[in-house]
Amino acid sequence: MNNILALVLAGGRVDELLCLTETRAKAAVPIFGIYRIIDFVLSNLMHVGVDNVGILSQYRPHGLVRHIGTGEHWDFIGRKRGVRILAPYSGLKGSDWYRGTADAVYQNTAYIEEFMPEHILVAAGDHIYRMDYIPLINFHLESKADATICFTKIEKRSSRFGYGIINNKKQLVRYLEKPSSPSSDLVSMTLYVFRTEFILDVLKDNAAQPSHEFGRDIIPKITKHNKVFAYVFQGYWAYARTIESYYTTNMDLLKHKINLDKWQIRTNLLERCTYRDRTPAYINAEVTNSIISDECRIEGKVKNSILSPGVHVARGAEVTDSIIFHDVIIDPRARLRKVICDKDSRIGAQSVVGGFGKKTFSKQFDKLLGSGITILGKNSSIPKHTTIGANTVIYPAARIKTKYIQPGSTVS
């Protein structure tokens, strides 16, 4: 692994996650109670022994920088090991910032040349999966490939992904970025292995073009005249790009489709009031098929839900089919159903959030919210006796002026 340098694409904001990425990069969004999405790719790199990792970050990087710290939580610390946040070069023009995934790598040519790796592994920082990268790298080396693109099979095809068509020699013969009618079931995991000299030449040529994305510009171009191979990953993989897919991924953990014990995911347990110093959870209630993190105080009912550290569910309150972030207080006799609630929020007594009006799509985000999920942004304050319908978005710092918010509403 000494000849491999890893670059993690973690710079973007995803509008489809609505208020969850209002103040944070997508890769920093909490998941499964105590983790953040970027933990999965960092843990994968740690397990295979990659020594140096560059994290390409741009949008709202503060939370991500704090979470990663020195990299010690993933063993990226030592005389010849390290993780570095690679922010864009700030100049006089907006174009000096990252203009796309390919441009983000190209702008860090000096960082790459510092290590002189023979090959570069580029991975998205916002996908959830556990993968041993060694077979992928060995396949790349044995094929003597210029580039190896990693794919996985999906059952339900969607125009949100990039698709590959391969031959019986596992060569990538065609790549289609977000086609309206996919002709393949192999979707890109935004996981690439490149021969360094090759990809730097390609990126240099691309720098003069108007678009700079690996999926849209680089992969289709290099597939035509270079040795580009496809590696197919077998295992659980999720791209939690939308609220619906993010919610489903969390629920997959409760359905035992994900085994975190076997995945051995590392995270930073020192941030957010130092997890390691939080008191044990206190439960004097009915809890069914749920994850209850440290310092939670459960005196009401919790069913099919994931609670991050510090959540308080008061007596008589009910939380069902929900994802509750850190230090949320749910007051007596409040009821939540199919809710994603961001950090430091408070749900007033006898309020009802979600659970009714599921057939009413979000009026503003009709293509994103339609299955009944209600989202409460960070620091939300829901007054007591308030009723909030399904497919509703409450943005951070929103002022609730009415006791009844119709299903499908947006409050900002």
d(CA 336, CA 317): 8
Question: For residue 95, what pLDDT is reported?
Answer: 46
Q: How crowded is residue 183: how many other Cβ atoms within 10 Å of its Cβ?
A: 10
Q: Looking at 154-168, 215-229, 336-350, which range is the least confident one?
A: 154-168
Per-residue model confidence as pLDDT tens digits over 174-197? 999 999 899 899 999 999 999 999
Report, in angstroms and rounded to the nearest whole number, the Rg of the chain calculated over CA atoms.
Answer: 22
d(CA 364, CA 207): 37
Q: Which amino acid is at 409?
A: S
Per-residue model confidence as pLDDT tens digits over 239-253? 988 999 999 999 999
Predicted TM-score (pTM) of the model is: 0.94
- For residue 246, give the nearest of 35, 94, 2 by alpha carbon: 35
Residue whose tokens read 């998941």: 31
Spell 295-309 as b/e; 16+ CB within 10 A means b.
bbbbbbbbbbbbbbb
Q: What is the mean pLDDT of residues 79-87?
A: 90
Per-residue model confidence as pLDDT tens digits over 97-132? 788 899 999 999 999 999 999 999 999 999 999 999
Phi-psi region at 254: left, alpha or beta (left = phi > 0; alpha = psi -120 to 50): alpha
- Mean confidence (pLDDT) of the chain: 92
Pairs from 299-302 (Cβ < 8 Å, separation ≥ 24): 300/330, 300/332
pLDDT score of 330 more than 50 = yes
Structural domains of the chain, ranges and CATH numbers in brackets: 4-254 (3.90.550.10), 277-411 (2.160.10.10)
Question: For residue 9, what pLDDT is reported?
Answer: 95
Give 94's pLDDT tier (boundaries 50, 70, 90).
Answer: very low
What are the φ/ψ torsions at residue 254 (nearest 5 degrees)? -70, -20
- For residue 291, give the nearest of 274, 279, 309 by alpha carbon: 309
The DSSP secondary-structure symbol of 184 reads -
Token pair listed for 109: 């040519």
**Are 327 and 311 spatial neighbours (Cβ–Cβ below 8 Å)?**
yes
In this structure, the dihedral spanned by the alpha carbons of residues 246, 242, 7 and 35, taken in order and rounded to 10 degrees, is -20
**Are 291 and 277 spatial neighbours (Cβ–Cβ below 8 Å)?**
no
- For residue 45, give the nearest of 140, 116, 120, 132 by alpha carbon: 132
Q: What is the mean pLDDT of residues 12-37?
A: 88
Q: What is the mean pLDDT of residues 377-406?
A: 94
Give 381's pLDDT tier (boundaries 50, 70, 90).
Answer: very high
Sign for the pseudo-dihedral over CA of 28, 32, 35, 39? negative
The DSSP secondary-structure symbol of 264 reads T
Per-residue model confidence as pLDDT tens digits over 53-79? 999 987 667 888 899 999 999 999 988
**Are 252 and 237 spatial neighbours (Cβ–Cβ below 8 Å)?**
no
What are the φ/ψ torsions at residue 331 (nearest 5 degrees)? -75, 170
User: 256: which residues sit within 8 A by CB, 6+ positions away?
Assistant: none
> What is the residue-wise DSSP string for 149-179?
EEEEE-SS--TTSEEEEE-TT-BEEEEEES-
pLDDT score of 34 more than 60 = yes
Classified as helix, coil or strand, 54 is strand
